[in-house]
């Protein structure tokens, strides 16, 4: 189904043409002044220059053509040249019914098939997931679901940090601590030799230790360097311990992502990209892009007109080792080969913006992807404590993501303690509510901005919160259950009977607009906004009317149909945000 503003734009464009003006002036948008009208068209203002005519005169000519139409209850020209529009109740109700029958529930589908790779999550081996990993995971998941809802083919790839210096350091330190491990023997044979278990705690603590040590101990640093080379060459013992470390990290990371409702199609890592490094170097050399600078191999990516200084991208360090940027470029080769994506999106915090700018420019210069492929980075702000500083634990440490989830779940459970409405596992319901609160609390903000983690606010039953939205869904559940109506029944919404119903019908009708906006801006806040508008309009409608005891059977049935479609659009919006609903709370 087309989105409402597209339908209206077609009607208004035809009216421009009919009145003798350029139809391309007829674009309609949702009104900035909901108190005056539901939609607006500003085309007459742009038409003024074209036709040497006062915009209000053009607007009047067009409004005259629109007024008699059944779609509108209002089509009015207002100075200096706006056309204010509101839908007739009959048309609005028909639109809501159309959404209810539509297999995509009013979510506009992309015009031509499109493939997107979304690179999000970005965990690292030997590093516990912490709150710095939250936003990439949940925003990435939401964008993946949103893009899928609009009919696109989307692959989520976690892009595990698993290759290079950090793991050389980590393994070198293991060797110091456990010299007896068979993997450190020259004749290690993975078929024959047993392998000790790796303790996850030790694994997560060892890298920072080894990293600090390498700064003071040149001998250790050199040993680690050798390990990197051995790893690169897949020396059996070194590769075996690396593999073991990775398995431990992956299984722990998978558990946490599962708890967060975040899921990937591919678990590729830098190590999988590294096999494309020789091809990358070959291409860069062939194109004459690679040159030496202070011993390193770099590609110039500065462009005329740059407002910031964009240094050359380092592809190989002076010791010929590969780095983060090398693998990002190599990964683009792999993605182009495997998926031929129309877009590749990356989600990390905004401190990596320059890195991605360099990578994208280099990739385009080298022709790793066609000129038309969109390479885009969403750099987001941090979750902070109430002091506006990056969130820290009481002892000043970084909060593990697992602990964050536990804290949120605990707070949600505490809130549910006295609820009598719960049937089923209270802990699991609390978890769903906690995650809804956390995700909505995060994603209702502009991604680029920092936001304050305030669990009490996020969990509040009223206000713009995930809890409020889940609660609204449970209210509708209860109405539909009492009326004996299945949740997914596409019922005919007949007509608007009372005034308070109109804003709910309009909020539902507008849900389709938000998917496109969320997708195009890489910003799930548009979905949050739409879900909140629907929920708060529903609350007003629910407050003012006794739906189940309504005496007129036709009105009652129509209201129930509105409740059902409200529920479905809300649940779909929430699902795209990665938020699961609960039956009751």
- Using CB under 6 A as the binding rule, whether residue 348 contacts ligand ARG is answered as yes
Q: How far is the CB of 351 from ligand ARG (least distance, A)?
A: 9
Give strand pairing partners of 296.
293
Q: How far is the CB of 254 from ligand ARG (least distance, A)?
A: 16
Query: Coil, strand, or helix at residue 167?
Result: helix
Binding to ligand ARG, residues 300-329 (CB under 6 A): 328
The DSSP code for 329 is H
One DSSP character per residue, 203-235 reads: HHHHHHHHHHHHHH-HHHHHHHHHHHHHHHTT-
Q: How far is the CB of 317 from ligand ARG (least distance, A)?
A: 17
Window contacting ligand ARG (CB under 6 A); options: 79-87, 116-124, 177-185, 541-549: 116-124
What would you report as the CA-atom Rg of the chain, rounded to the nearest whole angstrom? Answer: 28
Q: How far is the CB of 122 from ligand ARG (least distance, A)?
A: 3
Six-digit token string for 578 = 């990665």
Window contacting ligand ARG (CB under 6 A); options: 68-76, 118-126, 247-255, 386-394: 118-126
| Beta strand ranges found along 342-459 (DSSP E) | 343-349, 374-380, 383-384, 451-452
* Residue whose CB is nearest to ligand ARG in the complex, by number: 122
The DSSP code for 470 is H
Binding to ligand ARG, residues 483-502 (CB under 6 A): none
Cα separation, 507 vs 541, in Å, equals 12
Q: How far is the CB of 80 from ligand ARG (least distance, A)?
A: 48
For 112, 482, 487, the CA distances from 109, given in Å and listed in that order, are: 9, 34, 24
**If we measure between CA atoms, which residue out of 261, 180, 243, 245 comes closest to residue 206?**
245
Cis check for the bond before 258: say yes or no (omega within 30 of 0). Answer: no
One DSSP character per residue, 93-125 reads: HHHHHHHHHSTTTTPPPPSS--EEEEE----BT
Binding mask 122-151 for ligand ARG (x = CB under 6 A): x-x---------------------------
Cα separation, 14 vs 32, in Å, equals 23
Q: How far is the CB of 346 from ligand ARG (least distance, A)?
A: 5
Counting residues that bind ligand ARG (by CB under 6 A) gives 8
Of positions 21, 181, 276, 346, contacts ligand ARG by CB under 6 A: 346
Window contacting ligand ARG (CB under 6 A); options: 117-125, 314-322, 377-385, 454-462: 117-125
Binding to ligand ARG, residues 513-532 (CB under 6 A): none
**With respect to ligand ARG, which residue has the nearer C-beta, 136 or 477?**
136
Of positions 43, 61, 91, 119, contacts ligand ARG by CB under 6 A: 119
Q: How far is the CB of 207 from ligand ARG (least distance, A)?
A: 12
Give the relative orientation of helices 426-443 and 401-416 as an angle to the nearest 10 degrees. Answer: 120
- Using CB under 6 A as the binding rule, whether residue 159 contacts ligand ARG is answered as yes
- Using CB under 6 A as the binding rule, whether residue 409 contacts ligand ARG is answered as no
- Using CB under 6 A as the binding rule, whether residue 345 contacts ligand ARG is answered as no
Give strand pairing partners of 41.
28, 83
Window contacting ligand ARG (CB under 6 A); options: 37-45, 46-54, 119-127, 481-489: 119-127
Residue 77 φ then ψ, to 5°: -85, 130
- Using CB under 6 A as the binding rule, whether residue 162 contacts ligand ARG is answered as no
Cis check for the bond before 80: say yes or no (omega within 30 of 0). Answer: yes
By the 8 A CB rule, do 189 and 236 touch?
Answer: yes
- Using CB under 6 A as the binding rule, whether residue 161 contacts ligand ARG is answered as yes
Q: How far is the CB of 374 from ligand ARG (least distance, A)?
A: 15
Binding site for ligand ARG (CB under 6 A): 119, 122, 124, 159, 161, 328, 346, 348
């Amino acid at each position: 189904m087309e989105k409402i503003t597209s339908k209206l734009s077609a009607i208004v464009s035809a009216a421009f043409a009919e009145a003798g003006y350029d139809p391309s002036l007829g674009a309609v948008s949702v009104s900035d002044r909901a108190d005056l009208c539901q939609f607006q068209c500003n085309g007459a203002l742009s038409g003024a220059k074209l036709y040497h005519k006062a915009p209000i005169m053009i607007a009047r000519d067009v409004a005259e053509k629109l007024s008699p139409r059944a779609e509108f209850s209002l089509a009015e020209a207002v100075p200096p040249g706006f056309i204010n529009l509101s839908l007739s109740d009959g048309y609005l109700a028909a639109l809501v019914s159309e959404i209810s029958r539509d297999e995509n529930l009013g979510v506009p589908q992309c015009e031509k098939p499109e493939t997107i790779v979304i690179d999000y999550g970005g965990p690292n081996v030997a590093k516990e997931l912490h709150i710095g990993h939250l936003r990439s995971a949940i925003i990435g998941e939401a964008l993946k679901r949103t893009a899928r809802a609009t009919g696109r083919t989307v692959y989520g790839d976690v892009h595990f940090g698993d290759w290079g210096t950090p793991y050389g350091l980590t393994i070198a330190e293991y060797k110091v601590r456990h010299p007896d491990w068979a993997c450190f023997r020259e004749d290690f044979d993975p078929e024959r030799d047993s392998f000790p278990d790796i303790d996850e705690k030790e694994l997560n603590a060892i890298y920072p230790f080894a990293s600090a040590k390498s700064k003071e101990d040149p001998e250790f640093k050199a040993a680690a360097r050798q390990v990197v080379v051995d790893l690169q060459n897949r020396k059996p013992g070194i590769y075996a311990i690396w593999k073991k470390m990775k398995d431990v990290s992956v299984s722990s990371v998978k558990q946490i992502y599962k708890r967060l409702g975040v899921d990937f199609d591919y678990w590729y890592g830098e190590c999988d990209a590294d096999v494309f490094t020789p091809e990358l170097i070959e291409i860069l050399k062939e194109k004459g892009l690679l040159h030496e600078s202070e011993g390193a191999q770099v590609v110039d990516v500065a462009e005329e007109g740059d407002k910031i200084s964009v240094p050359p991208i380092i592809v190989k360090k002076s010791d010929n080792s590969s780095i983060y940027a090398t693998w990002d470029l190599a990964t683009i080769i792999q993605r182009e080969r495997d998926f031929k994506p129309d877009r590749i999106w990356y989600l990390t915090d905004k401190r990596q913006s320059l890195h991605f700018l360099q990578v994208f420019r280099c990739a385009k210069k080298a022709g790793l992807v066609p000129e038309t492929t969109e390479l885009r980075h969403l750099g987001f702000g941090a979750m902070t404590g109430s002091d506006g500083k990056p969130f820290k634990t009481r002892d000043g440490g970084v909060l593990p993501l697992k602990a964050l989830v536990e804290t949120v779940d605990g707070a949600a459970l505490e809130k549910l303690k006295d609820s009598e409405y719960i049937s089923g596992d209270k802990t699991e319901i609390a978890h769903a509510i906690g995650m809804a609160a956390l995700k909505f609390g995060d994603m209702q903000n502009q991604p680029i901005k920092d936001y304050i983690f305030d669990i009490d606010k996020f969990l509040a039953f009223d206000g713009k919160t995930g809890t409020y939205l889940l609660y609204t869904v449970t209210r509708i559940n209860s109405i539909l259950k009492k009326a004996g109506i299945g949740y997914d029944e596409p019922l005919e919404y007949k007509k608007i009977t009372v005034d308070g119903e109109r804003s709910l019908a309009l909020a539902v009708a507008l849900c389709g607009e938000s998917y496109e906006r969320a997708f195009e801006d890489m910003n799930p806040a548009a979905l949050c906004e739409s879900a909140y508008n629907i929920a708060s309009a529903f609350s007003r409608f629910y407050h003012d009317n006794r739906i189940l005891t309504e005496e007129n059977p036709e009105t009652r049935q129509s209201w129930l149909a509105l409740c059902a479609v409200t529920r479905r659009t809300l649940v779909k919006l929430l699902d795209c945000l990665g938020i699961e609903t609960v039956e009751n709370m």
